[in-house]
Structure 1
Amino acid sequence: MTDEKKKRASLLALFFVYFLDYFGYALVFGIFGPLILKPEFEMFSAATSTHARHIALGILFAMFPLSQFVGGPIFGDLADRHGRKKTLYLSMIACTLGYFLSGLAILMHHFKLLLLSRAITGFFSGNRSICLAAIADLSPGEKNRSQNYGIIGTLGGLSWIVSMLVGGYFSDSKNSIYFNPALPFWITTLLSVISCLIIMKFFSETHIHREVFTLDPFKGMRNIVTCFRIKGLGILYVFYFFLMMGWGINLLWLNPYALERFEISQTQVMWLLVGTGVVWSIGSAGINQILLKRRSSEDISRIGLYGLFVVFIVCGLSSNYFTFAIFAMLASAFGALAWTNSLSIISLCSTEDAQGKVMGLSQSVGSISMLLAPLIAGIVAAFKIQFVYPIAALLIFIATLVLSIVRIKQKAEA
């Protein structure tokens, strides 16, 4: 096989693995809301208040990014020092166990085991950052890298759609007596095994830089402090932090918000989530690719931020489900533009031999954001759920201000 064919095969393998990995990541957003908030699923006693259920849901959502925050930098360094392929094997095998335990916990109505399963899956969820680093290895230049990250964004949207359909259909016992909320997690377990086989067969190592590796469980915490001091990158991580926290509140609480505020059915929620995935894919594959021909990654990210701010304000003011659903789906297009190009901006400000570390740091910052987002949303929703989207809009506004500071500093240094 020629080098070009190996490169193409490796890219396709990475895209496939990312698709399957994001499938597992997205699955919880369609299942955990009803699972925790609705008494009929028996995760808690029927006497448990809605207030307590929102807090529990926030803790459950926070467990994954908390563990990811610790594991992300470790796997980023492993990928840089011992190669992408071996590190992918390790993370995917452990995630397979985590998905299986999630299904078991749901079947047993065991909330603590469910928390443990999310902790395992989160700690070993280095797949996406390693995929992003390997794609960076195979994508020289801004346009090529941003295009491949755009494909990643599209695959995330498509994977989201499939995940919502699979999760919504196979978790609903009305469709079959054999269906329940645990079944989608066991389907994901099988898909994780397929991911390992795909990497084994088609992925060629893109980066080997062997050094002595020292396990440091507190590296994520130190990285959060040090990454903000990196010249040219620190302020971009601040921007990414607020972007991901604002977007995370929408992502995590779209399902619970729609269920409680508008009292819609679980099927309606499923189609709303499917719609957001469709629009995300359009934003990544269509709108982003068109804009890249005329605008820089920073400009496109700014467009996404402006759109998110306006849309979140409208979502918070919406008093009927139809208006809310339209703007909630529109948010996905702007979110795709902001997220895809924010990663491209950060990647391009780093050296080629540190892409794994930079993506690992990005994952750490994203993990902290996604750790705080559900805790904030859970507390706000327990107090008054109508305040969820105004808080998300405020965080996006702060991210926009930080990106404006980046531009001012760049002009001053030019």
Structure 2
Amino acid sequence: MQQNNLKIFIPLFIVLIVDAMGFGLVFPIIGPLLMDKHAGMLPISASIAERSMFYGLTNVSCFLALLLGAPFFGDLSDKYGRKKIIILCLFGIAFGYVISALALIVKSVWLFILGRMIDGFAAGSESIAQAAIIDISPPEKKTINLSLITVAGCFGFVIGPLVGGVFSDPSLNHWFGYMTPFIVALVLTLLNAICLFFTFTETHQALNKGKVQLLKGLTMFKAAFTNKTLKRISVIFLLMQVAWAIYFQLVSLIFTENYHYLPKQIGFFYAYLGLIISFTMMIMIRLFLKFVSEKKLVFIACIIAIVGVLLNILFQSKWMPWISVIFIALGMGLAYACILSFYSQSVSKEHQGWVMGVGNSVIAVSWSIGGAMISLISTAYFSWLLALMVLCYLIAGFSIRQLCLPTK
């Protein structure tokens, strides 16, 4: 990698590591926070089904806001440059953490949901970082470079849950609790913005000063399924992300309700998951791409993920999630960078920020669907959700075989 490109990669790595740390700090505690009868966020008489509903609603609202925010900020970065918009996103995320912390003080679940919505809307930094990497990547290096930038996020997500678990454990310090990870995430996000301001070199010149529509994300999401070039890619991506979202959001509730895990223990699991994805992005994807094409790799990834889900269905024990996640996370990691590369190959250089925003809008809807499924189906019937995951992976796996990418 050239020296000038390294000067761009390193700040982006720092941005994504710290950004993912913030997400990893707070996500593992949301399930226990809402399921804990003594946390005060919901009436002590609230049933498990009601608590699961609010858990799903919290995630749905966050990712529906992401549906609007990610493509909106991605398009903004095409128009006004990457650096300014990433910094704007980071300050928005910081404000969301402030609202969430206030919600814990006043014990308001609706204010907490508002804070998560603000964080979701402002969470466009990853798609902009992806576009910045594409700006400086030759076509033959796009998949590898996208996997590397994803590794940065995974690395942050490994550290985040561990730190969050420590800062939420009152047995270590009397003032640690559910609110502490939000405060730590706030500080990290502000430091992240300052670091980016002084170290990042702009990769994209502004195209124009045209009007930007707040609801353009809805139009972009529609384009994902009406544009002939993007339609099949988006269907495959939607199916795989719905399956991944169900698993990622469900496992916290399963550990809390079935195995009585504390936030610290859930944090350890998410860190373990992040390590698997990081290993996949850094090493496994490179090995696979030496022998198979990107299309075949996505098909293989679906099969691997199905094996992991079936293990959870057939062998329900407290240790099986720690084994099956190896297959599920491996499948997700192998497919993710390949599909982002498919998106990138489908549009011109001038629209890379736009198409990354489109891809992230598909993720937002997928995770909203996953949260809605958890709200509608009690955790007592989690096998139904796992069966839905298998169906999603099966359809995606067979659909990828019919995918035709444009030739340039």
- Structure 2 residue aligned with 1:194: 191
What is the Cα deviation at residue 383 of structure 1? 6.2
Distance 1:266 1:123, change over 3 A: closer
TM-score, normalization: structure 2? 0.95
Q: 1:98 aligns with which of 84, 96, 99?
A: 96
Matched, 1:280 2:277: yes
Check whether the contact 1:79–1:130 (CA below 8 A) recurs between aligned residues. yes
Check whether the contact 2:52–2:378 (CA below 8 A) recurs between aligned residues. yes
Q: Deviations over 1:286-326 (max 9, x none)?
A: 11122222222222222211111121121122221112321
- Structure 2 residue aligned with 1:305: 302
Q: Percent identity?
A: 25
Check whether the contact 1:29–1:255 (CA below 8 A) recurs between aligned residues. no
Q: 1:77 aligns with which of 68, 75, 89?
A: 75
Residue 177 of structure 1 aligns to a residue whose secondary structure is: coil
- Structure 1 residue aligned with 2:222: 225
Q: 2:161 aligns with which of 124, 149, 164?
A: 164
Q: Deviations over 1:243-273 (max 9, x none)?
A: 1111111111111122223344444333222
- Structure 2 residue aligned with 1:153: 150
Check whether the contact 1:308–1:331 (CA below 8 A) recurs between aligned residues. yes
Q: Deviations over 1:31-55 (max 9, x none)?
A: 1110011112121111000000000
What is the Cα deviation at residue 4 of structure 1? 4.6
> What is the root-mean-square deviation in Å for CA atoms of aligned residues?
2.0
Q: Distance in 1 between matches of 2:210 and 2:189?
A: 26
Check whether the contact 1:381–1:388 (CA below 8 A) recurs between aligned residues. no
Residue 63 of structure 1 aligns to a residue whose secondary structure is: helix
Q: Deviations over 1:187-218 (max 9, x none)?
A: 11111112112221221111113323323232
Gaps of 5+ in 2: none
Matched, 1:350 2:331: no
Q: Distance in 2 between matches of 1:108 and 1:319?
A: 38
TM-score, normalization: structure 1? 0.93
Q: Distance in 2 between matches of 1:328 and 1:290?
A: 20
Q: Deviations over 1:351-397 (max 9, x none)?
A: 11110000011111111111111111221235623322112222222
Any residues of structure 2 matched to 1:197-208 within 5 Å, and which? 197-208=194-205
Does 93-102 or 50-59 show the bigger shift?
Answer: 93-102
What is the Cα deviation at residue 131 of structure 1? 0.4
What is the Cα deviation at residue 27 of structure 1? 3.1
Q: Distance in 2 between matches of 1:104 and 1:279?
A: 34
Q: Distance in 2 between matches of 1:287 and 1:21?
A: 24
Matched, 1:290 2:287: yes
Check whether the contact 1:52–1:382 (CA below 8 A) recurs between aligned residues. no
- Structure 2 residue aligned with 1:41: 39
Check whether the contact 1:96–1:192 (CA below 8 A) recurs between aligned residues. yes
Q: Distance in 2 between matches of 1:68 and 1:266?
A: 25
Q: Distance in 1 between matches of 2:314 and 2:48?
A: 22
What is the Cα deviation at residue 410 of structure 1? 5.9
Check whether the contact 1:150–1:289 (CA below 8 A) recurs between aligned residues. no
Q: Distance in 2 between matches of 1:120 and 1:319?
A: 37
What is the Cα deviation at residue 24 of structure 1? 2.0
Q: Distance in 2 between matches of 1:194 and 1:268?
A: 27
Any residues of structure 2 matched to 1:360-379 within 5 Å, and which? 360-379=357-376
Q: Distance in 1 between matches of 2:371 and 2:324?
A: 21
Q: Distance in 2 between matches of 1:274 and 1:93?
A: 25
Q: Match for 1:106: what amino acid?
A: L
Q: Match for 1:304: what amino acid?
A: A
Residue 321 of structure 1 aligns to a residue whose secondary structure is: coil
Q: 1:61 aligns with which of 52, 59, 74?
A: 59
For this pair of structures, how many residues does the alignment match? Answer: 408
Check whether the contact 2:15–2:192 (CA below 8 A) recurs between aligned residues. yes
Any residues of structure 2 matched to 1:387-402 within 5 Å, and which? 387-402=384-399
Does 83-92 or 292-301 show the bigger shift?
Answer: 292-301
Q: Distance in 2 between matches of 1:345 and 1:90?
A: 28
Q: Deviations over 1:116-161 (max 9, x none)?
A: 111111111110110000011011123x221221212322322111
Q: Distance in 1 between matches of 2:207 and 2:136?
A: 19
- Structure 1 residue aligned with 2:86: 88
- Structure 2 residue aligned with 1:328: 325
Check whether the contact 2:229–2:405 (CA below 8 A) recurs between aligned residues. no
Q: Distance in 1 between matches of 2:178 and 2:260?
A: 20
Q: Distance in 1 between matches of 2:391 and 2:38?
A: 35
Q: Distance in 1 between matches of 2:316 and 2:241?
A: 26
